[in-house]
């Protein structure tokens, strides 16, 4: 059932009274079942034991897939994985919008439910201490391995903090420079990209406007949309085409914006607004040659859970990410990584001050408030007070999946290749269907319609944006796609352009992509013909 879930089908078939009877009977049965195994109300909850039991159970069940090698184009094996880890039969809407939000995997949801159930019974300090051990010790260690930091001698919480989302992580970066005295706005400058996420672009402009920074304190790497080349003067001004012919086009433009006074370069590793995937390893190498002490921040909202990041081998100073996007993890939790080798965390003063997961303040660790000194590690960003224990523990499950502990042969490298493969399927589907709404479309000049790079496939993953035809509003497109086809995509206003975005990840199948592209083009075609509503929604979600 695609347009009607099984649950809704039962309700509509039985009627209101029948649905109530069914739900009451189910509840009674569940209650009876729980009653048989219920512990005494005086029995303490052994959180770590129950969490370990769930992990062992899921590992054991996952062994059925041990022969699946998960080659990127093996749709049969990946479809098996998708069916096993996602409750697609319960979806009333199929999402191909990973750049915003993804469904959580079943193991993640099971862990969230388990911890929430524990917290209903026991909110004591001893119990919460066990949850802290599960999330910010064992769980963070698994995340450390997932990100290629396993050989680092530093403890996981020296290198990473679990925060609310990428937005909070980015704001720790752009809000903490002045207090730490790492950055002097009278002489230093920050380089940003005009298709960064707003929390990593406009937020910097806001700091400048409200804190009296100098005119040259923020420099902007600019994007020429729907183009594969720039003029010599545009290049001199730090402009790159949205569809570069090679990495050189990006590097040349970036180097025009940077000088010896650049203290921080902060870029979206993959832009959610133009779909470009930056060659971050080369960027870091080129920038270090100009100023070895420059802080390089890679907003990884669109690469965390997409790329095999291998941060142990990449000399980037910091990244941010969200578990609710591409990794298909829990909602309401993000990641902030700080490179301990460059003492990156010391450059930023957190804008939030509280206590950590053990109800300890910095003073408990010897960092006295009267001295104004706090942890020199990423832990300084973890003093956030009470957080959602269930989602924090569920990040552990996300890491266990991505490192093959739950599903044999899953690796970050295989996830990266699969998502790139789905991106290729998206490109092919757009090439096939765009002529229906753009009769003059041709593949050799696809950049005139698609802002995601199509000339060099190394410069994109799976974030695809294309322009909306004149007279058709993207906000109305996504509304009609949702209502007519029960599909979720996104619309964005980017540098004056009204764009549609499709962004699949490993929770999607190749047939999902065919369905969403054909459905979207069908909606636009019917809007052009006046058969579907238009000009009713003027706002963009992004």
Say yes or no: 283 and 329 in one domain.
yes
Least Cα distance to 272 among 223, 228, 339 occurs for 223
The residue written with tokens 């034991």 in the block is 49
Token pair listed for 206: 């806001």
Say yes or no: 395 and 307 in one domain.
yes
| Confidence at residue 16, expressed as pLDDT on a 0 to 100 scale | 36
Residue 414 has φ and ψ, to the nearest 5°, of: -70, -35
42: Cα separation from own chain's centroid:
42
Q: Are 195 and 268 in contact (CB under 8 A)?
A: yes
Say yes or no: 477 and 392 in one domain.
no
Say yes or no: 249 and 383 in one domain.
yes
Token pair listed for 70: 């998960």
**Residue 7, CA atoms < 13 Å, CB-side half-sphere:** 9
26: Cα separation from own chain's centroid:
37
516 located within any domain: yes
CB count within 10 Å of CB 539 equals 9
Residue 177 has φ and ψ, to the nearest 5°, of: -70, -45
Say yes or no: 392 and 267 in one domain.
yes
Beta bridge partners of 316: none
Gyration radius of the chain over CA positions: 24
CB count within 10 Å of CB 351 equals 13
Containing structural domain, residue 293:
135-403
How many Å apart are CA 186 and CA 216, to the nearest integer?
9
Tens of pLDDT, residue by residue, the chain (542 residues): 334 333 332 233 333 333 333 333 333 444 444 444 444 556 777 999 999 999 999 999 999 999 999 999 999 999 999 999 999 999 999 999 999 999 999 999 999 999 999 999 999 999 999 999 999 999 999 999 999 999 998 999 999 999 999 999 999 999 888 778 899 999 999 999 999 999 999 999 999 999 999 999 999 999 999 999 999 999 999 999 999 999 999 999 999 999 999 999 999 999 999 999 999 999 999 999 999 999 999 999 999 999 999 999 999 999 999 999 999 999 999 999 999 999 999 999 888 888 988 889 999 999 999 988 889 999 999 999 889 999 999 999 999 999 999 999 999 999 999 999 999 999 999 999 999 999 999 999 999 999 999 999 999 999 999 999 999 999 999 999 999 999 999 999 999 999 999 999 999 999 999 999 999 999 999 999 999 988 776 555 43
How many Å apart are CA 79 and CA 92, to the nearest integer?
19
| Confidence at residue 38, expressed as pLDDT on a 0 to 100 scale | 46
**First and final CA of the chain: distance in angstroms?**
31
Residue 434 sits in a domain whose CATH number is: 3.90.1150.170
34 located within any domain: no
Say yes or no: 397 and 422 in one domain.
no
Q: Are 469 and 439 in contact (CB under 8 A)?
A: no
Question: Angle between the 106-121 and 75-85 helix axes, to the nearest 10 degrees?
Answer: 20
Q: Are 177 and 160 in contact (CB under 8 A)?
A: no
Angle, alpha carbons 122-124-128 (nearest 5°):
90
Token pair listed for 458: 């190394």
320 located within any domain: yes
Q: Are 134 and 396 in contact (CB under 8 A)?
A: yes
221 located within any domain: yes
Say yes or no: 251 and 389 in one domain.
yes
Q: Are 244 and 259 in contact (CB under 8 A)?
A: no
Question: Angle between the 106-121 and 125-133 helix axes, to the nearest 10 degrees?
Answer: 160
Residues 6+ apart with CB under 8 A from 484: 519, 523, 532
| Confidence at residue 535, expressed as pLDDT on a 0 to 100 scale | 75
Say yes or no: 235 and 267 in one domain.
yes
Say yes or no: 363 and 469 in one domain.
no
Say yes or no: 235 and 377 in one domain.
yes
65-99 pLDDT tens trace: 999 999 999 999 999 999 999 999 999 999 999 99
Residues 6+ apart with CB under 8 A from 48: 130, 133, 134
Domain's final residue, options 403, 433, 448: 403
Q: Are 139 and 115 in contact (CB under 8 A)?
A: no
329 located within any domain: yes
How many Å apart are CA 426 and CA 430, to the nearest integer?
6
Angle, alpha carbons 375-391-303 (nearest 5°):
75
Domain's final residue, options 348, 370, 403: 403
Residue 502 has φ and ψ, to the nearest 5°, of: -125, 130
Beta strands in 115-211, from DSSP E residues, in sequence order: 160-163, 189-193
Angle, alpha carbons 306-405-393 (nearest 5°):
75
How many Å apart are CA 185 and CA 202, to the nearest integer?
17
Least Cα distance to 392 among 335, 308, 351 occurs for 335
How many Å apart are CA 540 and CA 538, to the nearest integer?
7
Q: What is the DSSP letter of 534?
A: -
| Confidence at residue 42, expressed as pLDDT on a 0 to 100 scale | 63
How many Å apart are CA 7 and CA 101, to the nearest integer?
23
CB count within 10 Å of CB 370 equals 6
Domain's final residue, options 403, 421, 453: 403
445 located within any domain: yes
Our count of domains for the chain comes to 2
Token pair listed for 471: 């007279």
| Pairing relationship of beta strands 318-322 and 295-299 according to DSSP bridges | parallel
The residue written with tokens 């909606």 in the block is 523
494 located within any domain: yes
Say yes or no: 359 and 430 in one domain.
no
Token pair listed for 468: 């909306």
CB count within 10 Å of CB 366 equals 8
400-414 pLDDT tens trace: 999 999 999 999 999
302-313 pLDDT tens trace: 999 999 999 999
| Confidence at residue 28, expressed as pLDDT on a 0 to 100 scale | 41
- pTM as predicted: 0.91
Least Cα distance to 431 among 368, 521, 500 occurs for 521
Residue 396 sits in a domain whose CATH number is: 3.40.640.10
35 located within any domain: no
Say yes or no: 291 and 440 in one domain.
no
How buried is 145 (Cβ within 10 angstroms: 0-12 exposed, 13-18 middle, 19+ buried)?
Answer: middle
Q: What is the DSSP letter of 221?
A: E
Question: Angle between the 47-62 and 389-402 helix axes, to the nearest 10 degrees?
Answer: 30
């Amino acid at each position: 059932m695609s347009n009607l879930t099984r649950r809704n089908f039962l309700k509509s078939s039985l009627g209101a009274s029948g649905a109530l009877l069914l739900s009451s009977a189910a509840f009674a049965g569940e209650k009876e079942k729980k009653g048989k195994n219920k512990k005494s109300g005086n029995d303490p909850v052994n959180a770590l034991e129950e969490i370990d039991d769930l992990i062992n159970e899921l590992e054991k069940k996952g062994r059925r897939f041990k022969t699946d090698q998960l080659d990127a184009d093996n749709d049969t094996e990946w479809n098996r994985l998708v069916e096993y880890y996602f409750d697609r039969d319960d979806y009333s809407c199929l999402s191909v919008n990973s750049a915003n939000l993804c469904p959580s995997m079943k193991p993640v949801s099971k862990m969230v439910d388990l911890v929430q159930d524990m917290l209903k019974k026991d909110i004591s300090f001893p119990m919460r201490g066990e949850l802290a051990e599960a999330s910010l010790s064992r769980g963070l260690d698994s995340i450390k391995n997932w990100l290629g930091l396993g050989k680092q001698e530093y403890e996981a919480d020296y290198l990473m903090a679990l925060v609310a989302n990428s937005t909070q992580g980015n704001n720790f970066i752009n809000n903490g420079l002045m207090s730490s005295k790492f950055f002097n706005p009278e002489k230093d400058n920050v380089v940003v990209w005009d298709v960064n996420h707003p929390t990593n672009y406009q937020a910097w402009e806001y700091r400048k406007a409200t804190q009296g920074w100098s005119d040259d304190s923020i420099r902007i790497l600019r994007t020429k949309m729907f183009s594969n080349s720039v003029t010599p003067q545009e290049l001199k001004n730090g402009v790159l085409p949205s569809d570069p012919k090679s990495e050189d086009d990006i590097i040349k433009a970036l180097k025009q914006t940077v000088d010896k006074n650049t203290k921080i370069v902060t870029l979206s590793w993959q832009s959610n607004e133009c779909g470009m995937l930056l060659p971050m390893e080369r960027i870091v190498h080129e920038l270090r040659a100009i100023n070895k002490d420059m802080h390089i921040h890679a907003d990884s909202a669109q690469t965390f859970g997409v790329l095999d990041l291998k941060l142990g081998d990449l000399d980037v100073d910091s990244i941010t990410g969200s578990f609710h996007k591409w990794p298909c993890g829990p909602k309401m939790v993000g990641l902030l990584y700080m490179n301990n080798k460059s003492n990156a965390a010391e450059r930023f003063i957190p804008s939030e001050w509280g206590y950590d997961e053990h109800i300890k303040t910095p003073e408990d660790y010897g960092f006295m408030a009267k001295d104004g000194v706090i942890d020199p590690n990423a832990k300084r960003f973890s003093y956030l007070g009470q957080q959602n224990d269930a989602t924090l523990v569920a990040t552990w499950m996300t890491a266990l999946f991505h490192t093959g502990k739950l599903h044999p042969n899953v690796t970050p490298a295989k996830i990266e290749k699969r998502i790139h493969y789905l991106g290729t399927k998206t490109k092919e589907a757009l090439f096939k269907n765009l002529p229906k709404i753009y009769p003059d479309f041709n593949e050799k000049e696809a950049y005139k319609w698609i802002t995601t790079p199509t000339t060099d496939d190394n410069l994109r993953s799976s974030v695809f944006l294309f322009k909306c035809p004149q007279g058709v509003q993207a906000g109305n497109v996504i509304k009609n796609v949702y209502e007519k086809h029960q599909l979720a995509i996104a619309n964005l206003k980017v540098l004056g352009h009204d764009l549609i975005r499709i962004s699949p990840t490993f929770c999607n199948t190749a047939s999902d992509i065919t369905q969403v592209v054909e459905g979207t083009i069908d909606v636009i075609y019917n809007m052009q013909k006046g058969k579907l509503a238009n000009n009713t929604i003027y706002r963009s979600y992004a």
